[in-house]
Amino acid sequence: MQDWIVLGRIAGPYGIKGWLRVQSFTEPESNLAGYKPVWVGRSGEWKETTIRRFEEHGKGWVAQFKGCDDRNAAEALVGAEIAVPRQQLPALKPGEYYWTDLEGLHVHNRSGQFLGRVDKLMETGANDVIVVVPVEGSLDDQERLIPWVPARYVLDVDLASGRIEVDWEADF
C-alpha cells in the first residue's frame, strides 16, 4: 500500500482553458510545482499527472495540469487532493518532522497527564503552534494551543509510540 502525502488541494476552476485554483500545503507554497509527477484524486483513488505551469495569482496560486485542458475538466477536479508518495519527499534532518507525521499523536505533559491528540498545526508570526484537542481519556475537555518550540515546550517526539511530551501544565 502506497503511503501518500497530501501536498495541496484543488480549490476551483480558473478561466476556460483548464487552469485550476490550488491551495498548496508546502513551505514555501511554490514548492508544490517542483514535484514531478504528482497524483490527483479523492478517497485514495489517485491519477498520475504533471503540473505544467504554476503561477502566483493574487493571494493564491493557479496551476495547469497535464490532461486538464478546458473548464469542464477543471470543474471535475474541484475538491481533489494533490499528493506524492512519501519517498518523493526530501529527507529530514534529526529533530525535523513533516506536519502530517505529527497529526494524530498523543500529547502528554511532563507530569504524565494526557492532554489530547494533535489535530493540526498552525503557522503564526512568532512560531508554529500545535492544536491539541481532547479525546477519550484526555485530562479534560479543553483544546490547547501549544507553541512548537523544541527544548522549551516540546520536549520529546516519539513517532514510533505516537507520543509527544510537552512542558505544558494542565491549567495553561
Which H or E run contains 12?
Answer: strand 4-14
Task: With a cut of 60, say whether residue 1 has pLDDT above it.
Answer: no
pLDDT digits (tens, 9 = 90+) for 6-59: 999 999 999 999 999 999 999 899 999 999 999 999 988 999 999 999 999 999
- pLDDT for 146 equals 97
- pLDDT for 46 equals 93
What's the rounded Cα separation, in Å, for the pair 30 and 14?
18
pLDDT digits (tens, 9 = 90+) for 72-129: 999 999 999 999 999 999 899 988 999 989 999 999 999 999 999 999 999 888 899 9
Please report the domains of the chain, with CATH numbers, ordered by start residue: 4-87 (2.40.30.60), 99-166 (2.30.30.240)
pLDDT tier at 2, thresholds 50, 70, 90: low
β strands within 31-168, DSSP E: 38-42, 45-49, 51-57, 60-65, 81-85, 106-109, 114-122, 129-133, 144-147, 154-158, 163-166
Question: How many CB atoms are closer than 10 A to CB 127?
Answer: 12
Q: Which residues contact 87 (CB under 8 A, 6 or more apart)?
A: none
- pLDDT for 72 equals 97
